[in-house]
Amino acid sequence: EVQLVESGGGLVQAGGSLRLSCAASGVSFDEYAVGWFRQAPGKEREGISYISTVDDSTYYRPSVKGRFIISSDITKNTVYLQMNSLKPEDTATYYCAFAYLSVSRVGVPTREQDYDYWGQGTQVTVSS
């Protein structure tokens, strides 16, 4: 079974940067997608960025596009989320999620229900 561990969260001032990591273990195949989601207090969880190892497709939520960069290292089964120009509204618990894909998959899944395995989350706090 796939297990995910997020790291890299913390407290940063507005305008600063953080890099989150999502390390997957128990991975049996090289074709998969990883999504980053976040949930702020009192708000619903939202998907912010996704990446596929099949065709390297990526997707970004409009509110983070141009500020966040998702990347993957298949050799380490690790996905990164580089977060730049952070804003107080980026404060949330960030989760990564994993889904196996078929070798013929085009594009990256963007629905929460497409992902089968979830990490425990890492807190990101952006002070103003």
Q: What is the pLDDT of residue 74?
A: 92
33/75 Cα distance (integer angstroms): 15
φ/ψ of residue 63, rounded to 5: -70, -15
Q: What is the pLDDT of residue 114?
A: 96
HSE (CB half, 13 Å, CA atoms) of 118? 15
Tens of pLDDT, residues 5-14 = 999 999 999 9
Looking at per-residue pLDDT, the higher value among 17 and 105 belongs to 17
Tens of pLDDT, residues 69-126 = 999 999 999 999 999 999 999 999 999 999 999 998 999 999 999 999 999 999 999 9
Instruction: Residue 83: name the closest of 59, 66, 95 by CA.
Output: 66
